[in-house]
Structure 1
Amino acid sequence: MQKVIILHNKIENNTPDELDVLEQKELVSKACASLGYEVKSLTVGDQLKADLQAVASSKPDIVFNLVEATWGKGELIYFAPAMLNSFKIPYTGVPLDALFVTTNKVLAKKMMLKDDLPTAPFFTINEIHLLNPQKKYIVKPIWEEASVGISEESIFSLADSDKVNRIKKLAVSQFFIEEFIDGREFNISILASKNGPEVLPPAEMIFSEYFKDKPNIVGYKAKWDETSEEYNQTNRSFGTLECHPVLKQELIDICIKSWKVFNLHGYARIDFRLDKLDNIYILEINGNPCIAPDSGFIAAIEHRGYSHCEVIKRILTDLN
């Protein structure tokens, strides 16, 4: 019987985006047990070296990597796979290089431009003088995932002098500016298969009338605060591109190309924006996206008709 260790980060801050790793662990554990694996769970916390040595000492055949942060810092997500690489332990999900690149949004966007993948124009904090007074922009953390640090206050134009002055004071190494694409938003999940990446049904984020006078964004509240209006007035919908087969195929083609360009493995999710003319822009590429039962990735695989066991089996067979 093969041994799978489910490795996840120690809970540091008890925030909703951090706690959901426990739900992911439960889903993976049940699926692995059903598939006939011996399953054990371990955490990565303050003692990174000791924690990874404990993993190595357990002599796993595979590590199912659910580590989303190191020392509570999302920007250090790649530390765990780096250590697993050094111990020569096979692990699931995107490899070290891909995880580092996709976590750094600016570096990822530079790669997109190099390989002709569509993404919105972007600027450093020091380039605010280059912005177009007629356009809207969004300021984003370079490293954070899960919409951490994103709210309607992140949207601005040069006429918003107070916001502009605050943005100018942000650290160049931590934040960047992107042109705000005001249009439809899609989340598209991708799953490894024996025939290459399988693009799952596109999910459109539907913004209710509540957002009529607000920016249509899936900020932190919309993702994680179940008591907020942003959360309750943002809904996921499948099948909205069935009458637009050319557009749907274009999105699928971009997903497949992105998988190859960024050396993705196992599973991923790509977030898109479409402008009023249906021009496509990649917002970001998410390696190892959330696979909690209520996540967008699991919604997509269930919409396709796959069981949790089928998905975990595929992830476990596309190793690094």
Structure 2
Amino acid sequence: MKTAAVIRPYYPPGKKLAEDEEDTLDQTRLISSALKNLGYKVKELQCTLNFEKLRKELVKLNPAFCFNLVEDIEDSSSLCVAVALLLEHIKMPVAGSPSSALYLSTHKPAAKAFMQYRGIPTPVFFFEGSSGGNLAFPAQYIIKPECEDASIGIDHDSLIQAENLSDLQHKIKQREDLIEKKCFAEEFINGREINISIIADNGSYEILPPAEILFIDFPADKPKILDYEAKWCYDSFACRNTPRSFKFDSTDQKMLERAQKLAMQAFKIYGCRGYARIDFRADESELYVIETNANPCLAEECGLIASAAQRGYSYDDVIKRIVSDIPGIS
């Protein structure tokens, strides 16, 4: 029986885990169970900043491949690329995207600059004294951490009104001081939120049914954004009132076709592999790629798994497809 390793961050015993960290543990259990159902023996490994320890464990275990679920190390998302680099260095087959795709998708300003260079529409932004596009004032901007996933560091106060560039810079600095993370500002697209998921399909890739995040009964003063509360605080108004929908009108067809085309374009230019989810915002005139999630969440209720279920795929089906796209394994 072949062995598969599932690598996740190390959480100290007794630590009160945040909701997104609990989600990582759920993913670990689900993926391990699916791999066992597919005939693999599974070993769970935990990652710290001691990469030499992890390297020795992997060399000793010599698994057929790894599933890398490390999105941050010691609360730093920018370090997630280090695990992918280590796996590539020791020539370890790994599910999902390579380090290059993870870096570009994790560093949000770099990701946006790359999309602009490759002709993919994305909202204009401002980061470290430079603008990506023509900034408009007065206007609404959303201030985000430069290197975080899972909406970490985003709440209702992230959406701000900037009267001019000086005001925008001041509010970015205020936000950085509050959340203690480097931030950038992105033009806020006040419109619909669309997700397109992609999975491996026998040597090619399949675009799964598109989903829309609905903002139901939001008060006029509550920003229509999928912030940390909406994603992870399950009893909150924001979470209860942002359901995922797969129902679209015939009038949406042209928009969805463009979203699918842009999603596949983004998937390819980043060099994603195995699976990914591309997030959009759409106003009345344009569709914008907000970000490409190169190794998105694989929890049971997540967007990619929900989209796969719409096509009749089980959780094990999804994991089997991802494994089938790992280079270097039979």
TM-score by length of 2: 0.90
Q: CA deviation at 1:11?
A: 2.4
User: Could you tell me which of 76, 98, 110 is aligned with 2:113?
Assistant: 110
Q: Please show how residues 299-310 of structure 1 align to structure 2 within 5 Å.
A: 299-310=306-317
1:202 aligns with 2:210: yes
User: Could you tell me which of 237, 240, 257 is aligned with 1:249?
Assistant: 257
Q: Which residue pairs with 1:4 in the alignment?
A: 4
For 2:211 and 2:252, locate their aligned partners in 1 and report how far apart those are by CA, in whole Å. 14
Q: Please show how residues 254-269 of structure 1 align to structure 2 within 5 Å.
A: 254-269=262-277
For 1:116 and 1:182, locate their aligned partners in 2 and report how far apart those are by CA, in whole Å. 22
Q: Please show how residues 126-141 of structure 1 align to structure 2 within 5 Å.
A: 126=129, 131-141=135-145
Aligned to 1:294, what secondary structure does the other structure show?
coil
Q: Which residue pairs with 2:298 in the alignment?
A: 291
1:187 aligns with 2:192: no
For 2:297 and 2:249, locate their aligned partners in 1 and report how far apart those are by CA, in whole Å. 24
Q: Please show how residues 72-111 of structure 1 align to structure 2 within 5 Å.
A: 72-111=75-114
Q: CA deviation at 1:164?
A: 6.0
- What is the aligned residue count? 318
Partner amino acid, structure 1, of 2:119: D
Q: Which residue pairs with 1:120 in the alignment?
A: 123
CA RMSD, Structure 1 to Structure 2 (Å): 2.2
1:271 aligns with 2:275: no
Partner amino acid, structure 2, of 1:9: P
Summarize deviations over 1:176-220 as a string: whole Å, max 9, x none: 111100000012111111252211111101001124332110001
Q: CA deviation at 1:243?
A: 4.1
Cα pair distance change 1:252/1:82, threshold 3 Å: same
Confirm or deny: 8 A CA contact 1:113 1:119 kept in the other structure: yes
Partner amino acid, structure 2, of 1:291: L
Aligned to 2:304, what secondary structure does the other structure show?
helix
Partner amino acid, structure 1, of 2:170: N
1:318 aligns with 2:325: yes
Partner amino acid, structure 1, of 2:7: L
User: Could you tell me which of 166, 170, 193 is aligned with 1:165?
Assistant: 170
Aligned to 2:204, what secondary structure does the other structure show?
coil
TM-score by length of 1: 0.93
Identity, in percent, stands at 37
Q: Which residue pairs with 1:148 in the alignment?
A: 152
Query: Could you tell which deviates more after superposition, 291-300 or 205-214?
Result: 205-214
Partner amino acid, structure 1, of 2:288: Y
Confirm or deny: 8 A CA contact 2:34 2:315 kept in the other structure: yes
For 1:212 and 1:235, locate their aligned partners in 2 and report how far apart those are by CA, in whole Å. 18
Confirm or deny: 8 A CA contact 1:9 1:70 kept in the other structure: yes
Partner amino acid, structure 2, of 1:60: P
Q: CA deviation at 1:242?
A: 4.7
Query: Could you tell which deviates more after superposition, 132-141 or 153-162?
Result: 153-162
Query: Could you tell which deviates more after superposition, 309-318 or 236-245?
Result: 236-245
For 1:119 and 1:218, locate their aligned partners in 2 and report how far apart those are by CA, in whole Å. 17
1:30 aligns with 2:33: yes
Q: CA deviation at 1:257?
A: 0.8
Summarize deviations over 1:103-155 as a string: whole Å, max 9, x none: 01111111111111110111125358x74223211111110111011112111
Q: Which residue pairs with 1:57 in the alignment?
A: 60
Structure 2 alignment gaps of length 5 or more: none
Query: Could you tell which deviates more after superposition, 230-239 or 154-163?
Result: 154-163
For 2:2 and 2:142, locate their aligned partners in 1 and report how far apart those are by CA, in whole Å. 47
User: Could you tell me which of 11, 20, 23 is aligned with 1:20?
Assistant: 23
Structure 1 alignment gaps of length 5 or more: none
Cα pair distance change 1:76/1:46, threshold 3 Å: closer
Confirm or deny: 8 A CA contact 1:301 1:307 kept in the other structure: yes
Confirm or deny: 8 A CA contact 1:271 1:282 kept in the other structure: yes
For 2:302 and 2:146, locate their aligned partners in 1 and report how far apart those are by CA, in whole Å. 23
For 1:246 and 1:256, locate their aligned partners in 2 and report how far apart those are by CA, in whole Å. 16
Confirm or deny: 8 A CA contact 1:182 1:276 kept in the other structure: no
Query: Could you tell which deviates more after superposition, 235-244 or 101-110?
Result: 235-244
Q: Which residue pairs with 2:287 in the alignment?
A: 280
Summarize deviations over 1:223-272 as a string: whole Å, max 9, x none: 01112211111111012255422211111111111111000001111110
